[in-house]
Structure 1
Amino acid sequence: MPTKLLIGLDGEGSGDRALTHAKRLAGLIGECEIVVAYVIEWSPFSFQTAEENAKRHQRREEELNLAHSRVVDPAVKQLVDEGYVASGVVKHGDVAETLNKIAVSCGAEQIVVGRSSEGGFSQRLFGSSTGNLVMHASMPVTVVG
């Protein structure tokens, strides 16, 4: 069974650096699968009307499709084109908690994320989310600068 690495992308340069590092790790490991993940921050808690909730569900689906087409699918295609075994996933939720859940569910050995001041996922992650991910993840976390 191949080793699995979960890469948390943010759609920014820091995610590209995390992906580059993951490819290096995969090369060192040998038989390895890279799982590309993008988490859209989303709170399930809201007090809205039924109409607002219907629109929210539609917006949520649009966000999932957009994240796949702009971030995850191109990264997976690049990896596959370069000869790596790769798959992708987009989820809504708390960044740290959701990345850990994805990693556990796919059997990842390690989570790799990028650090940057460019914004996006890494900016959100490097507040309490990074500390939460690093301190509570079920496997090692590598933060790439």
Structure 2
Amino acid sequence: MTTKLVVGLDGHGSGERAVAFAKNLADLIGDCELLIVYVVEWSPYSFQTAEENAQRHKRREEEISTAMQRVVDPAVGKLTDAGAKATGIVRHGDVASILMAISEEEGASQIIVSRSSEGGFTKRIFGSATSNLVMHASVPVTVVS
């Protein structure tokens, strides 16, 4: 049975550290698939006209395509070139919720994310995706510094 690991990317160098850690762990495990995930933060709670909603949908699709091309595909390409089994996923929503949902949908054994210094003091007071994952995920969460 293939072990699946969800790896959250943030589009920064810290995400690359999480990918590198996941690759090393996958090598140790053997039969392992890395699910490389980038979440475009997006709130569904907005009151708009029908025209604005149509534009919003188009913008969402463009953001998914851009994130896939600029962030996810290069990471997946490096992993597959190095002999790893990897798949890329881009979704909109709350980062922690999406990573937890994907881990449940895919039957993943673990979520791997990086600790990012982005957001500073405000993030420390009001929480972050990483802390929400650690507190609420149904699978182990590894935080790479």
Please give the TM-score of this superposition, normalised by the length of structure 2. 0.92
Match for 2:110: what amino acid?
A: Q
- Number of corresponding residues: 141
Question: Which residue matches 1:101?
Answer: 101
Question: Which residue matches 2:67?
Answer: 67
Over the aligned positions, Cα root-mean-square deviation in angstroms equals 1.6
Question: Which residue matches 2:131?
Answer: 131
Where 2:139 maps in the other structure, the secondary structure is coil
Match for 1:28: what amino acid?
A: L
Asked whether the 8 Å contact 2:115–2:130 carries over to 1, the reply is no
Mapping 1:25-40, distance limit 5 Å = 25-40=25-40
The CA distance in 2 between the partners of 1:52 and 1:139, in whole Å, is: 38
Q: CA deviation at 1:116?
A: 2.1
- Structure 1 stretches lacking a partner, 5+ long: none
The CA distance in 2 between the partners of 1:67 and 1:127, in whole Å, is: 24
Asked whether the 8 Å contact 1:34–1:86 carries over to 2, the reply is yes
Asked whether the 8 Å contact 1:76–1:87 carries over to 2, the reply is yes
Where 2:130 maps in the other structure, the secondary structure is helix
Match for 2:60: what amino acid?
A: R
Asked whether the 8 Å contact 2:130–2:143 carries over to 1, the reply is no
Match for 2:98: what amino acid?
A: T
Identity %: 65
The CA distance in 2 between the partners of 1:116 and 1:134, in whole Å, is: 14
The CA distance in 1 between the partners of 2:8 and 2:70, in whole Å, is: 14
Q: CA deviation at 1:118?
A: 4.5
Q: CA deviation at 1:36?
A: 0.2
Please give the TM-score of this superposition, normalised by the length of structure 1. 0.92
